Amino acid sequence: MDGGAFLNQASHYVDMVDWLVGPVDSVHAYTATLARAIEAEDTGTMSLRLRSGGLASINVTMLTHGKNFEGSITILGERGTVRIGGVAVNRIDHWEFDAPQPADAAVVDASYATPSVYGFGHPLYYDNVIATLRGEKEAGVDGYEGLRSLEVIIAAYRSARDGVRVGLPLVF
pLDDT in tens, 67-102: 777 889 999 999 999 999 988 889 999 999 999 999
pLDDT in tens, 8-64: 989 999 999 999 999 999 999 999 999 999 999 999 999 999 999 999 999 999 998
Helix-strand-coil percent breakdown of the chain, rounded to 5?
A: 30, 25, 45
Q: What total number of domains does the chain contain?
A: 1
Q: How confident is the model at residue 145 (pLDDT cuts 50, 70, 90)?
A: confident
Q: How confident is the model at residue 141 (pLDDT cuts 50, 70, 90)?
A: confident
Task: Tell me if 104 is assigned to some domain.
Answer: no
Does 164 have pLDDT greater than 90?
yes
What domain range includes position 148?
Answer: 4-68+117-164
Task: Tell me if 129 is assigned to some domain.
Answer: yes
Does 1 have pLDDT greater than 70?
no
Task: Tell me if 51 is assigned to some domain.
Answer: yes
Task: Tell me if 171 is assigned to some domain.
Answer: no
Q: What Rg, from alpha-carbon coordinates, does the chain have?
A: 17
Task: Tell me if 81 is assigned to some domain.
Answer: no
Task: Tell me if 39 is assigned to some domain.
Answer: yes
**% of the chain residues with pLDDT over 70:** 99
Sign of CA dihedral 157, 162, 168, 171: negative
C-alpha separations of 128 from 99, 110, 112, 123, 138 in Å: 36, 21, 22, 9, 8
Q: What is the CATH number of the domain that holds 26?
A: 3.30.360.10
